[in-house]
Amino acid sequence: MKTETRRPLELVCPAGTPSALRAAIEAGADAVYCGFRDETNARNFPGLNFSREEMKSSIGYAHSHGAKVLIAVNTFARAGDLTPWLSAIDDAATLGADAVILADMGLMSYAAKNHPGLRLHVSVQAAAASSDSINFYVEAFGVKRVVLPRVLSVPEIAAVTRNASCETETFAFGGLCVMTEGRCSLSSYATGQSPNMNGVCSPASHVSYRQEDGVMVARLGDFTINRSSADQPVGYPTLCKGRFKTGVGEGHIFEEPVSLDVRQLLPALQNAGVTAIKIEGRQRSRAYIKAVVHAFREALDALADKRSVPISSLAPITEGQSVTGGAYVKTWR
């Protein structure tokens, strides 16, 4: 068998605010991804994201600490009104971002043409699930990295990476889309607001809770997403993690409210040839970011030193307080 020395996995961490960015870097992030404060990024939540000024100083801070900043412009631009998206790309280039993360072919085309020096990463929202798709983006736009959708098992990731003509990045921790990212309109069906168009999923503005005979009813728009009795935790009504009824049965028909945690699989992902691993959660607190990044830094350092990977418990801070290997483990399907 061929043995080769793998480069250490790059740890890509989320930041919703400049202070979260600093916390991530202090805790050992190799790169931080973040977005401008508007609908050009897929975490367009109130109170989150960066002004141009904040982005500039944050990039300065990151670079002085040897970390990279990747700017996500990963929603799909609004027809007839492309300006916010084009200026986000222009400003990312001007401010010295290490890469932009894009999902929209129209925007990739613009960036490749107008900013040939700007490094392009394909967002998970572009759903490039095979090496054929990845190589299409490489050929068309010269992209340097693709973030893989969370639909592949580890052997599939290895095969895709082997045949891909650019780097791959996979999700390692945090919220788990059960649907292929960037190809889901469930949220807009219920609320009119979608990840692709508005950068939000199951938005808080459309969430309501109601007490009904000792039962807490969590609703999204006009639809009940869950009902919990007094002894059950009341979760946020993310549409695909809700409980529903069918003629066959009822329950979490799509997915339980669980989080992804792949620390057990890190050696396998490294052997699969993956370049970087990504932590989800730009909407998360500074404390959360610090704890998760720190745990992954420890794990990656152990991996690099060929020690066994320490798995400290992160369960208490995760969605649903339980974790899964997701599609990385084939029986998940």
Partner 1 sequence: MSRTTLTLGPLLYNWPAADWRDFYARIADEAPVDTVCIGEVVCSKRQPFYADVIPETIERLERAGKTVILSTLALPTLDRELKYCGSLAREASQMIEVNDISTIPALAKRPHAIGPLINVYNEAAAAFLIAGGAARIALPPELPLKSISAIVAAARNAVIEVWAFGRIPLAISARCYHARLHGRTKDSCQFVCEQDLDGLDVETLDGERFLAVNGVQTLSYSYCNLIFEARQLESLGVSALRLSPHTCDMVAVSQIFRDVLDGIREPSHAMRAMRTICSDAAFSNGFVHGTNGALYVLE
Stretch of 59-67, 92-100, 181-189, 313-321 contacting partner 1, by CB under 8 A: 181-189
Are 279 and 292 a contacting pair, CB within 8 Å? Answer: yes
Cβ proximity to partner 1: between 82 and 268 the closer is 82
Cβ proximity to partner 1: between 27 and 260 the closer is 260
333 touching partner 1, by CB under 8 A:
yes
Three-class DSSP category at 226: strand
CB 119 → partner 1: shortest distance, Å? 20
CB 121 → partner 1: shortest distance, Å? 16
Structure tokens at 247: 């003629």
Q: From CA 169, how far away is CA 7, in angstroms rounded?
A: 13
Stretch of 51-59, 215-223, 287-295, 304-312 contacting partner 1, by CB under 8 A: 215-223
109 touching partner 1, by CB under 8 A:
yes
Contacts (Cβ under 8 Å, ≥6 apart) of 133 = 127
**How many C-beta atoms lie closer than 10 Å to residue 68's C-beta?**
19
Cβ proximity to partner 1: between 8 and 155 the closer is 155
Cβ proximity to partner 1: between 40 and 58 the closer is 40
39 touching partner 1, by CB under 8 A:
no
122: nearest Cα among 136, 99, 143: 143
Contacts (Cβ under 8 Å, ≥6 apart) of 124 = 103, 147, 148, 149, 150, 171, 181, 182
101 touching partner 1, by CB under 8 A:
no
Which member of 168, 191, 238, 324 binds partner 1 (CB under 8 A)? 191
Backbone phi and psi for residue 128, each to the nearest 5 degrees, phi listed first? -85, 95
Cβ proximity to partner 1: between 181 and 298 the closer is 181
Cβ proximity to partner 1: between 114 and 321 the closer is 114
Are 150 and 176 a contacting pair, CB within 8 Å? Answer: yes
Are 145 and 122 a contacting pair, CB within 8 Å? Answer: yes
288 touching partner 1, by CB under 8 A:
no
Stretch of 40-48, 61-69, 108-116, 314-322 contacting partner 1, by CB under 8 A: 108-116
Binding residues for partner 1, total number by CB under 8 A:
73
CB 326 → partner 1: shortest distance, Å? 9
Q: Restricting to residues 216-275, which ones interact with partner 1 according to CB under 8 A?
A: 217, 221-227, 240, 242-250, 253-255
CB 28 → partner 1: shortest distance, Å? 31
178 touching partner 1, by CB under 8 A:
yes
136 touching partner 1, by CB under 8 A:
yes
Cβ proximity to partner 1: between 82 and 93 the closer is 82
Q: From CA 36, how far away is CA 92, in angstroms rounded?
A: 9
204 touching partner 1, by CB under 8 A:
no
Cβ proximity to partner 1: between 159 and 302 the closer is 159
303: nearest Cα among 259, 272, 268: 268
- Could you please report the per-residue DSSP string of 194-214? -HHHHS-SS-GGGEEEEEETT
Q: From CA 276, how far away is CA 32, in angstroms rounded?
A: 12
